Amino acid sequence: MANRSVPDDAALVSRCLDGDAAAWEALVRRYQRLVYAIALRASLDEHAAADVFQTTFARLVQHLPRISQPAKLQAWIVTTAKREALLLRRRAERTVSMTLPDGDESAGAPEWEVADDSPLPDEALAELQQLAQVRLALDRLDERCRRLLLELFGDDENVAYDDVALRLGIPRGSIGPTRSRCLAKLRSSLR
Amino acid sequence: MKPIHDLSDDEWLQLVQRAAALPDAPAALLRAALTLWPAPLAPTVARAAAPLQLLFAALSFDSWALSAAAPGMRSLPSDVRHLLYTATVCDIDLRIAPVDGRFEVAGQVLGIDEVGTLKLVRWVDDPAEDPSAALVADFDELGEFRLRGLSPGTYSLTLRVGADEIALPRIEIALPHDRGAL
């Protein structure tokens, strides 16, 4: 990330080792979406996803002093989160209930989801890392661009320009050109 | 997956849309993770002088054990054996597979992000028999390692990471139908 004001992972790890709690918070905030997305991608329920999240960061804080190549921190986090997610998935599959749903006498087999042999293939993990990278870059845009892009592309896919213009206090006609400029700015920040 | 600079404008737009919709972890989880922060950590230099700590890993998963216990099995277990061990500082994921009449042991040490070494020694019951030389391999930053060309037998595996030496229970390397014959 070509942004001088944003410390890289190595700097944050170093500051953590010096006892800087703010650096730990920055690391957690930097990777929280990625870790949670990995857990969700493994088709875990919210409780299991919470376990993956907590365990991954617990392991991270435990192993910070051992980190010899902080530049590979993201790979370590992804590997650890994936591992925890797969372990929980495996345990869930081993303890799945064989009981049929009440009143369902017609079904010939217990109702359970067939296990996916590769719930977290490398391609999916790479894609999640790319999404998280873009999202972090989006968070670091100036407020005008960040708010506009999040309003346009956030939870509501069918948001109306009129509503966005009202919420952001900008003319409706400026939304299209501003959106284009902000998308270009975001893209260039990732080069 | 295309690199960002290779995306068309439409693809870039779609990527941004998906990134913007990437959910935050629930606030309670975030707060819990932030509270994990401990007292200032000991400097790495000071830890280097720490004495060697011997740890024992426990077997937590064995694909052959699962297969053998499963009722209604129609076939032998897979030739590839998957083992998972848990120690206090890490987990060790092992896969043992036959390759060209011999065996390959590949795996990953999880929960540790520094390089280390592992040592595999064939266990010999008969004192007259010359024990095999220890096979030593490094594992990388992601904890991955691979040992090839192993003959069937019972082996002991130990890992060395920083000031920790982690010993695994003896491991039988064999095909499923030869299991227990060693």
Q: What are the boundaries of each domain within chain B?
A: 4-34, 44-178
**Cβ–Cβ under 8 Å, residues B140 and B115:** yes
Instruction: Label the pairing between strands B102-110 and B144-150.
Output: antiparallel
Is residue A20 domain-shared with residue A76, that is, in the same domain?
Answer: yes
pLDDT value of residue B86: 86
Tell me which of A145-159, A161-175, B131-145, B158-172 is least confident: B131-145
Place of tokens 């170093």: A14
pLDDT category at B70 given cuts 50, 70, 90 is low
Cβ–Cβ contact B93 with A under 8 A: yes
Tell me which of A23-27, A114-118, A156-160, B56-60 is least confident: A114-118
Is residue A11 domain-shared with residue A91, that is, in the same domain?
Answer: yes
A37 contacts B23? CB cut-off 8 A: yes
Read off the DSSP letter of residue B176: G
Tens of pLDDT, residues B77-122: 678 898 888 888 888 889 999 998 899 999 888 877 677 888 888 8
B29 contacts A36? CB cut-off 8 A: yes
Is residue A166 domain-shared with residue A91, that is, in the same domain?
Answer: no
Please give the structure tokens belonging to residue A33. 């979406």
* Residue A95 half-sphere exposure toward CB, CA atoms < 13 A: 6
Alpha helices in chain B (DSSP H): 9-20, 27-34, 44-48, 63-69
Is the model's pLDDT at A182 over the cut of 80? yes
Which of A19, A58, A75 is facing B36, going by the closest CB pair? A58
What CATH number does domain B44-178 carry, 3.90.25, 3.30.750, 2.60.40, 3.40.720? 2.60.40
Is residue A90 domain-shared with residue A146, that is, in the same domain?
Answer: no
The answer to whether position A30 is within a domain reads yes
CA B89/CA B111 separation, integer angstroms: 7
> Of all helices (H) and strands (E), which one includes residue B3?
none
The answer to whether position A130 is within a domain reads no
Tens of pLDDT, residues A116-171: 445 678 888 999 999 999 999 999 999 999 999 999 987 666 778 888 888 888 88
Q: Looking at the 3D structure of chain A, how many domains does it have? A: 2
Alpha helices in chain A (DSSP H): 9-17, 21-41, 46-63, 73-94, 122-139, 143-153, 161-168, 175-189
In sign, the C-alpha dihedral spanning A55, A56, A61, A65 is: positive
The percentage of chain A sitting over the pLDDT mark of 70, rounded to a whole number, equals 82
pLDDT value of residue A1: 42
Is residue A158 domain-shared with residue A83, that is, in the same domain?
Answer: no
- pTM over 0.90, yes/no: no
A66 contacts B112? CB cut-off 8 A: yes
Cβ–Cβ contact B165 with A under 8 A: no
CA B78/CA B90 separation, integer angstroms: 26
Cβ–Cβ contact A170 with B under 8 A: no
Residue span of the structural domain in which A75 resides: 6-96
Mean pLDDT of chain B: 79
| Residues ≥6 apart with Cβ < 8 Å to A37 | A128, A131, A132, B22, B23
Q: What is the DSSP string of B107-148?
A: EEEES--S-EEEEEEEE-S-TTSPPPPPEEEEE-TT-EEEEE
Q: What is the residue type of A53?
A: F
Cβ–Cβ contact A52 with B under 8 A: no
A150 CA: distance to closest CA in chain B (Å): 6
The answer to whether position A119 is within a domain reads no
B20 contacts A153? CB cut-off 8 A: yes
B110 contacts A61? CB cut-off 8 A: no
Report, as an integer, the average pLDDT of A76-87.
89
Is the model's pLDDT at B159 over the cut of 50? yes
The answer to whether position A107 is within a domain reads no
- Mark which of A70, A96, A122 sits at the end of a domain: A96
pLDDT value of residue B55: 85
| Residues ≥6 apart with Cβ < 8 Å to A168 | A147, A148, A151
Instruction: Label the pairing between strands B144-150 and B153-161.
Output: unpaired
B36 contacts A134? CB cut-off 8 A: no
Selected for mutation to probe chain B from A66, A69, A77 (highest B CB count within 10 Å) is A66
